[in-house]
């Protein structure tokens, strides 16, 4: 498959992905696996005062999966958790200059992982509030 079929933004985020890695002791984390292939993404977030201060990803997948994860983490940095939760798969695809339709389900996993990581943070925060040390 030729990389020419992908936008310049997809190629740039694949060649030099932003925010790769994982956060030690994250505020929230989540793993999402593609329902149609083996693509998998781990998102870790550091959240302070309800704002995403740091976002990292680890991705096992194709160029589009890596580019989507990179772009999505860039899009949520500095956003409130409410705003970050609203980042859609379509918004990530558009920010990348478009991705092939058949890649939307298998490769655009980061927005769902971000939503789940925020839910993880919310449940951890509720647990701490209910059982302070």
Which of 6, 1, 14 lies closest to 97 in space, CA to CA?
A: 6
Number of domains in the chain: 1
**The domain spanning residue 102 has which CATH number?**
3.90.1010.10
Would residue 11 count as lying in a domain? yes
Would residue 56 count as lying in a domain? yes
Would residue 99 count as lying in a domain? yes
Domain that holds residue 72: 3-124
Would residue 131 count as lying in a domain? no
Would residue 130 count as lying in a domain? no
| pLDDT band, residue 42 (cuts 50/70/90) | very high
Would residue 133 count as lying in a domain? no
- The pLDDT tens digits for 106-120 are 789 999 999 999 999
- The pLDDT tens digits for 73-94 are 999 999 999 999 999 999 999 9
Tell me how far apart the terminal alpha carbons of the chain are, to the nearest angstrom.
54
């Amino acid at each position: 498959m030729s990389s020419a079929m992908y936008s310049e933004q997809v190629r740039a985020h694949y060649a030099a992905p932003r925010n790769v890695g994982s956060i030690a002791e994250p505020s929230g984390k989540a793993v999402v696996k593609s329902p149609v292939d083996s693509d998998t993404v781990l998102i870790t977030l550091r959240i302070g005062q309800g704002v995403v201060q740091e976002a990292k990803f680890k991705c096992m997948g194709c160029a589009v999966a890596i580019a989507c994860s990179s772009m999505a983490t860039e899009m949520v940095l500095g956003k409130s958790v409410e705003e970050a939760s609203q980042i859609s798969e379509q918004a990530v695809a558009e920010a990348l200059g478009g991705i092939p339709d058949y890649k939307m389900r298998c490769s655009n996993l980061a927005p769902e992982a971000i939503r789940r990581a925020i839910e993880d943070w919310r449940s951890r925060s509720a647990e701490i509030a209910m059982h302070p040390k």
